[in-house]
Amino acid sequence: MAHSKQARKRIRQNDKNRIANKAKMSGIKTGLKAVMAAVKAGDKAKAQELALKACKTIDKAAKTNVIHKNNAARHKGQVMRAVAAMK
């Protein structure tokens, strides 16, 4: 258990940040799954729309250091390659 006022504050901040980061990661995973489902279904228009939304979510997470910028770039590239490979 934290003894100092500063340590108690850090615990509160860490809890708040963990919840926010978990929500952002969940949003990324949901977006990626939605794009891949649209790609698998063959709906190119929907896949392109969802890819843009997923990229925006990924960029926001990278900007706030929830994920590393290289991880963000890798996921964005994966999504865009999948959409571009559609017929």
pLDDT tens digits, one per residue of 6-34: 999 999 999 999 999 999 999 999 999 99
Domain membership flag for residue 69: yes
pLDDT for residue 1 = 84
Tally the domains of the chain: 1
Which CATH number goes with the domain that contains 77? 1.20.58.110
Amino acid at 17: N
DSSP E strands in the chain: the ranges are: none
φ, ψ for residue 25, nearest 5 deg: -65, -40
3 state DSSP class of 64: coil
Give the closest residue to 87 by CA, choosing from 57, 50, 47. Answer: 47
Query: Domain containing 61: what range?
Result: 12-84
